Chains A and B, each alone.
Chain A
Amino acid sequence: QKEVEQDPGPLSVPEGAIVSLNCTYSNSAFQYFMWYRQYSRKGPELLMYTYSSGNKEDGRFTAQVDKSSKYISLFIRDSQPSDSATYLCATKKGGNEKLTFGTGTRLTIIP
């Protein structure tokens, strides 16, 4: 079993819809949680990060972590065609620099 599980999709939604992307993890030592966006043939870029449980909002993006259920989410409001990309969740233990990634969810926003 992988330490971080993520539904690979693909996921297609119409423009303007709310998108919900999710990951689960198994190791309770993970303390830092991140979402990366990766466009085709590009490296991942950091979108959001959170420490421990809670919500964090940045514009149209909201990251949510529930450590009790080991569940992390990314919500995208008012989705745009430019949001079409692969979204990767990542986790990190305290004092350890290695990131553990989910497999990524491929998202397409249909105009």
Chain B
Amino acid sequence: GAGVSQSPSNKVTEKGKDVELRCDPISGHTALYWYRQSLGQGLEFLIYFQGNSAPDKSGLPSDRFSAERTGGSVSTLTIQRTQQEDSAVYLCASSSPGGRYEQYFGPGTRLTVT
């Protein structure tokens, strides 16, 4: 079946603008994760959604970052008042109940803030 999809694949924005990044998880996967991958930094956990439970937002770097997941499926990561240090690849992953060690990743959105 289809894997995790993300859009857009690339986004260039000016400093101070808001951006929205979208993730479509694998159908039937109840858990959804957002990570950020910066050069030389590896993947950094941002936020985790599981079913109807309150999300784990412990990795969000500042209050400019927020995410929502509508209807238990599609998720949107919003970055307000973007800064140059927000430039990175934003990766989304999903996993199925009982298979939580196996997170399936999307191709990512490459964000460049100029």
Contacts and interface: CB of A to CB of B under 8 A. Distances in A.
Interface string B42-72: 1111001010000010110000000000000
22 contacts: A4-B42, A8-B40, A41-B107, A43-B4, A43-B91, A43-B93, A43-B106, A44-B43, A44-B91, A45-B105, A46-B101, A46-B104, A49-B101, A88-B43, A90-B43, A97-B50, A97-B56, A97-B95, A98-B33, A100-B45, A102-B42, A103-B42
B81 interface: no
B107 A42 contact: yes
Interface in B13-57: 31, 33, 35, 40-45, 48, 50, 56
B33 A97 contact: yes
A98 B56 contact: yes
Given A41-B107, A92-B101, A98 B40 contact: no
Contacts of A25: none
Contacts of A43: 4, 91, 93, 105-108
Nearest to B49: A97
B105 A99 contact: no
A50 to B, nearest CB: 10
B102 interface: yes
A88 B44 CA distance: 12
A65 B100 CA distance: 19
A21 interface: no
A100 B59 CA distance: 11
